[in-house]
Amino acid sequence: MTLPSGDLTNDVDVVVIGAGAAGVAAGQALAKAGVSFLVIEARSRPGGRAWTSLVDAGGASYPVDMGCGWLHSADRNPLVAIARDLGLTVDETIPPWQREISADGFSAQQQREFRRAQELFYARLEKAAGEPQDRPAADLLEPGSPWTPLMHAISTYVNGVELDRLSVKDFDNYHDTEINYRVVEGYGTLIARHGAALPIIYDCPVQTVDHSGTRIRVTCANGAVAARAVIVTVPTNLIAQERIVFTPALPDKLDAAANLPLGQDDKLFLSVDRAEDLPDNSRLFGSMERAATGNYHLRPFGRPLIEGYYGGACARDLEKEGIEGFAAFAREELVSMLGSVWRDRLKPLAVSGWAQDSFATGSYSHALPGHWDKRAVLAAPVNERLFFAGEATSPHFFSTAHGAYESGERAAQEALAGLKIAAEGPSR
């Protein structure tokens, strides 16, 4: 499907820009309301930063999530029920970060000391969040603590940045029920199947949104369409970089997006020869002494794989070296923990590179210190015709696919209310 290039009389009620979790959710809500709409997607696939790929290991193929992989807050995450309704397999195994690590170099006593240091740190963060002035989370680290590097490393996995770039108030706003499931067939598979029946135009990066007239004109390389309302679900970096030009301009949105930048998180998947020698569903830290280290999930779902996580400056630096750079880094860390016999038993299969992805340029949003309130600014409608969704607009579930999904539903309801469609019916 391509956009019409000339006559715009065949317009629609709503255009949704982006077919990630937020765009798919918006599309589903609009479809239920019976309005005419299009979803316009820059990529050749749905899902955005939810992307499942296939890798071959041990004579079999396995789906792996290159982006989001965990159904966080699963006891209230709407995508859990959707996954089951689609016939996908929801795995409720306790995640590795909620269990003790069984590895040399990080004793049970050390793990208890670290957990206690974490608890005290989070208590200080919670207290500081109630103060009038926002501040960087790094301010709350205990001076001279041996656990500071690991605290920073974990922040890079969770937030995409080290603690000095993280707003205390924003971090405190995140809600987590600490119930985490996975989709065996892949989170990206879930989003793609859920959006399969929607009218999505692929390979169509939006260039301009002109909301100066009676109808909003949305243009991309292969045409244009007019709509009564537009829902924008693209990542904050693309808004801040004005990859989509709004007319009239939206300086408040640009400022909000710039102060909610995407952090950096990447994954490396390794196949493991004789993987049965490793424990199932366990994890290892590459180092306890530096922030630039990997976190390694061993044999997820019992597969002959290692799933490596890298965040912040570490991920940005490794992306410059590609899969071989990631693999060399991982191999050295894993061999230092597991022994030299493993050096030739690890083979790189796939790596994500979200900073290099031109339609993402990062992983998920964090608020810079002093800008925790920008999520509400980004989410606010413009003249009841432009609406904004995506994980960065979620007040309490930012950085997650379900936060994005719920924001898409919210934006769709705002659009329907703004157009008074519920009362008047869709235009035809």
Q: In what order do the strands lie in the sheet with 282-285?
A: 282-285, 295-298, 305-311, 265-272, 346-351
CA distances, 398 to each of 64, 172, 186, 240, 362 (Å): 22, 12, 20, 18, 14
CA distances, 128 to each of 119, 138, 156, 169, 247 (Å): 14, 12, 21, 8, 40
Question: Looking at the structure, do residues 126 and 234 belong to the same domain, yes or no?
Answer: no
**What is the pLDDT averaged over residues 320-332?**
97
Q: Where are the alpha helices (DSSP H) in 86-166?
A: 108-129, 148-159
What's the number of domains the chain is made of?
2
Asked if 225 and 234 count as a contact pair (C-beta separation under 8 A), the reply is: no
Question: Looking at the structure, do residues 202 and 238 belong to the same domain, yes or no?
Answer: yes
CA distances, 215 to each of 82, 309, 387 (Å): 34, 45, 15
The last residue of a domain, from among 353, 376, 408: 353
Give the strand pairing for 216-220 and 206-210. Answer: antiparallel
- Rg from Cα positions in the chain: 22
Tell me the two tokens of residue 31. 């479809």
- Domain for residue 177, yes or no? no
Q: 271: burial class by Cβ within 10 Å (0-12, 13-18, 19+)?
A: buried
Model pLDDT, residue 428: 39
Percent of the chain past pLDDT 70, that is, above it, reads 95
Model pLDDT, residue 222: 84
- Domain for residue 61, yes or no? no
pLDDT digits (tens, 9 = 90+) for 79-109: 999 999 999 999 999 999 888 776 667 888 8
- Which of 248, 307, 250, 313 is CA-nearest to residue 278? 307
The last residue of a domain, from among 331, 353, 375: 353
Q: What is the torsional sign of CA 4, 10, 11, 16?
A: negative
Listed in sequence order, the residues at least 6 apart from 405 whose beta carbon sits closer than 8 Å to its beta carbon are: 21, 22, 24, 25, 78, 79
- Domain for residue 362, yes or no? no
Question: Looking at the structure, do residues 373 and 345 belong to the same domain, yes or no?
Answer: no
Tell me the two tokens of residue 121. 């740190």
- Domain for residue 394, yes or no? yes
For residues 319 and 322, give the distance between their C-alpha atoms in angstroms, rounded to a whole number. Answer: 5
Question: Looking at the structure, do residues 102 and 163 belong to the same domain, yes or no?
Answer: yes
Give the CATH number for residue 110: 3.90.660.10
- Domain for residue 58, yes or no? no
pLDDT at 46 over 80: yes
Question: Looking at the structure, do residues 201 and 321 belong to the same domain, yes or no?
Answer: no
Question: Looking at the structure, do residues 165 and 277 belong to the same domain, yes or no?
Answer: yes
- Domain for residue 93, yes or no? no
Tell me the two tokens of residue 279. 């424990």
- Domain for residue 180, yes or no? no
Question: Looking at the structure, do residues 314 and 331 belong to the same domain, yes or no?
Answer: yes
Tell me the two tokens of residue 351. 């790596």
Question: Looking at the structure, do residues 257 and 275 belong to the same domain, yes or no?
Answer: no
The last residue of a domain, from among 353, 387, 406: 353
pLDDT digits (tens, 9 = 90+) for 125-169: 999 999 999 999 999 999 999 999 999 999 999 999 999 999 999
- Which of 155, 161, 69 is CA-nearest to residue 355? 161
Give the CATH number for residue 214: 3.50.50.60
Model pLDDT, residue 108: 83
Question: Looking at the structure, do residues 154 and 294 belong to the same domain, yes or no?
Answer: yes
Looking up tokens 């235009």, which residue turns up?
Answer: 427
Question: Looking at the structure, do residues 284 and 406 belong to the same domain, yes or no?
Answer: no
Question: Looking at the structure, do residues 104 and 144 belong to the same domain, yes or no?
Answer: yes
pLDDT digits (tens, 9 = 90+) for 24-42: 999 999 999 999 999 999 9
E strand spans, 181-288: 181-183, 200-201, 206-210, 216-220, 223-232, 245-247, 265-272, 282-285
The β-bridge partners of 224 are 219
pLDDT digits (tens, 9 = 90+) for 58-87: 899 999 999 999 999 999 999 999 999 999
- Domain for residue 302, yes or no? yes
Q: Whats the size of the chain, residue-wise?
A: 428
Asked if 90 and 181 count as a contact pair (C-beta separation under 8 A), the reply is: yes
At 84, which helix (H) or strand (E)?
helix 78-85
Asked if 11 and 35 count as a contact pair (C-beta separation under 8 A), the reply is: no
pLDDT class of 420 with cuts at 50, 70, 90: confident
Phi, psi of 207 (to 5 degrees): -105, -40
Question: Looking at the structure, do residues 402 and 389 belong to the same domain, yes or no?
Answer: yes
Listed in sequence order, the residues at least 6 apart from 367 whose beta carbon sits closer than 8 Å to its beta carbon are: 166, 167, 169, 170, 259, 260, 374, 375
pLDDT class of 9 with cuts at 50, 70, 90: very low
Provide the residue range defining the domain that includes 254. Answer: 12-49+186-261+367-424
pLDDT digits (tens, 9 = 90+) for 357-404: 999 999 999 999 999 999 999 999 999 999 999 999 999 999 999 999
